[in-house]
Amino acid sequence: MTVPFAAKLPVFEPGTVWLAGAGPGDPGLLTLLAAKALAEADAIVHDALVGDGILDMANPGAELIDLGKRAGRPSPKQEEINARLVELARRGLRVLRLKGGDPFVFGRGGEECLALAEARIPFRVVPGVTSGIGGLACAGIPVTHRGFGTTATFVTGHDKAGGLPADLDWDVLARMPGALVFYMALGTMEAIAERLVAAGKPAMTPIAIVSSASTEAQSVIETNLAHCARDVVRLQAKRPAIIVVGEVVRLRGWIGEWQQTVGHQFSKTAVSA
Ligand code: SAH
């Protein structure tokens, strides 16, 4: 693929690492820098969230290294990933570390940068479209809207141990005047809803669960705090899913029908009964 404006983009030097976000899935949402890195990399270290449509754009000569979690196989330890990146760069390769969404949003990109800096490997961070903003957009949900609050809060639904993070302040979250966007939260949806309602968030607050945002497999479940736990099971919510709690979800009714964003044209919607 020829990358538009390629001449104006920085040179991808051998022996360096580009840590890039691949966006939520639609190759059209890649940045020019990420597309250039895909076309020129000698080694591409990616995780499970980076779809085939994007990897199809890779330099045919590149070594593809899948370090994502796959069925039956645990994801490699972060130290192993860091060591791999350092080793590939020291071999003089152009190394693309490609992550779903944005590398710094719940993506451990910061840890990899620290390891590269410590090993004195030059690197470039290429931000990407995060699922909690762009993924919601592809489902017809603006993460902020003037009529519906003044904040957008990004929260991880699980910690290193796999449970709900212990340090979340549910009273504060319940009072935030805007959307709450939960990553990695399908498994803890029930606990999240219980805690928010117990902290005073109205039980009828709308929720959208957007699965495989921006891809042909995109699907959306519209529900609310009172019914989301039941609907996740009944409507078989699929991973990866981004979950937004807040009044902005109501805008889907007006925006969804008219927008042509990739994903939407395929998107199936299930609405809570
Ligand atoms: N760095 C990523 C987030 C990694 S954490 C980003 O910026 O988007 C993994 C979580 O991201 C998933 O559990 C899910 O909540 C969300 N996610 C990533 N891609 C998604 C997609 N295409 N559709 C829905 N959710 C997605």
* Probe residue for ligand 1, chosen from 26, 131, 136 as the CB with the greatest number of ligand atoms within 8 Å: 131
pLDDT for 127 equals 98
Are 225 and 207 within 8 A, CB to CB?
yes
- Residue 243 falls within a domain, yes or no? yes
Backbone angles phi, psi at 15, to 5 degrees: 80, 10
Is 57 marked active-site? Answer: no
CB of 133 closer than 6 angstroms to any ligand 1 atom: no
137 and 115 both lie in a single domain: no
Measured N-to-C along each axis, helices 78-90 and 109-118 cross at an angle, to the nearest 10 degrees, of 50
What proportion of the chain, given as a percentage, has pLDDT over 70?
Answer: 94
Of 100, 267, 251, residue with least CA distance to 178: 251
pLDDT for 111 equals 96
39 and 139 both lie in a single domain: no
187 and 208 both lie in a single domain: yes
For 145-196, write each residue's pLDDT tens digit: 999 999 999 999 998 888 999 999 999 999 999 999 999 999 999 999 999 9
- Where residue 71 sits, what CATH number does that domain have? 3.40.1010.10
SS3 209: strand
58 and 107 both lie in a single domain: yes
- Residue 45 falls within a domain, yes or no? yes
- Residue 270 falls within a domain, yes or no? no
SS3 64: strand
pLDDT for 254 equals 82
Exactly one of 1, 66, 69, 171 is catalytic; name it.
69
Element (H, E) at 191: helix 189-198
The pTM is what? 0.95
Is 184 marked active-site? Answer: yes
Is 176 marked active-site? Answer: no
CB of 136 closer than 6 angstroms to any ligand 1 atom: no
Choose one of 76, 104, 129: the last residue of a domain: 129
- Residue 267 falls within a domain, yes or no? no
171 and 186 both lie in a single domain: yes
pLDDT for 198 equals 98
Q: Which residues pair with 97 in a beta bridge?
A: 19, 45
If you count them, how many residues does the chain have? 273
| The total number of structural domains that make up the chain | 2
- Where residue 223 sits, what CATH number does that domain have? 3.30.950.10
- Residue 198 falls within a domain, yes or no? yes
Choose one of 129, 145, 173: the last residue of a domain: 129
109 and 152 both lie in a single domain: no
pLDDT for 162 equals 84
CB of 23 closer than 6 angstroms to any ligand 1 atom: no
Choose one of 72, 96, 129: the last residue of a domain: 129
pLDDT for 272 equals 77
94 and 162 both lie in a single domain: no
- Residue 160 falls within a domain, yes or no? yes
Please give the average pLDDT of every successive group of 10 residues along the chain, which has 273 residues.
Answer: 83 98 96 97 95 94 86 77 97 98 96 97 98 95 95 95 94 98 97 98 97 93 96 95 97 79 63 74
For residue 30, the enclosing domain spans: 6-129
122 and 140 both lie in a single domain: no
> Checking DSSP bridges between strand 151-156 and strand 17-21, what pairing results, if any?
unpaired
166 and 208 both lie in a single domain: yes
